[in-house]
Chain A
């Protein structure tokens, strides 16, 4: 009799612990899923903003092939520099913005789409006479 005392209470504690663990795991899953969904959406928004930046940059280059926003930077395709330091033209579109960067005398055009904490950098190679762009890439 004495040895069995408290067994029911112990069972309840184990069951409740399992249920609480389940609740915590589900809450964590939902939290992670929410974060992933928001990041994905912001990234897509930033991607389309960067596309808009490339389009706007191409229009500027057709009007003036010598147009540039900053001096050449090395190493090439330095995404940190492009996102944080490069001088460019910043335009708002919708609820985000994009930055267009063209280095002097370089045959590349960069655009950084920026929405929330997400940033996407796109690049195209430029050819002149006649003007065309190729080798679209995300960096």
Chain B
């Protein structure tokens, strides 16, 4: 009996432990949630970069921009086929002939805008990424 902890000692230790755990746990939880959000944001950034690269590569090889292309949708001729890029339901849609593919999941990309300074030039704004290119052909 004499070798055990006293009741006061145990109560004091338990109280201190509880108080400190309560104080620390929220910050650990917040850090964990922030870390996960950042990992998701990195994934989305990578997706944006891939979409931009694909769009730019397609457009560079294009022979002409099709009339009727707007600030939210671009159509162009690539190797004799019509390609179309647009943002539908917050997903980037790539349409080649009759084949439709979505390059992103919903809400990964918020804005996809096009501008046509001259006939062979096109500016693209994909969320934070912005560039201009010239059609090669």
The interface of chain A, by Cβ under 8 A from chain B, is: 1, 4-9, 11-12, 15-16, 19-20, 22-23, 26-27, 29-30, 33-34, 37, 40-41, 44-45, 48-49, 51-52, 55-56, 58-59, 93-96
Taking a contact as CB atoms under 8 Å apart, the answer to whether A55 and B125 are in contact is: no
B118 in contact (CB, < 8 A): yes
Taking a contact as CB atoms under 8 Å apart, the answer to whether B5 and A23 are in contact is: no
The interface of chain B, by Cβ under 8 A from chain A, is: 2-3, 5, 9-10, 12-13, 16-17, 20-21, 24, 27-28, 31-32, 34-35, 38-39, 41-42, 45, 48-49, 52, 56, 118, 121, 123, 125, 128-134
Mostly helix, strand, loop or mixed at chain A's interface? helix
Q: Considering only CB atoms, which chain A residue lies closest to B60 in the complex?
A: A55
Q: Considering only CB atoms, which chain A residue lies closest to B42 in the complex?
A: A37
- Seed contacts A23-B24, A48-B129, A52-B123; 10 additional CB < 8 Å A-B pairs: A7-B5, A12-B16, A15-B17, A23-B31, A29-B35, A37-B38, A51-B56, A93-B130, A94-B128, A95-B130
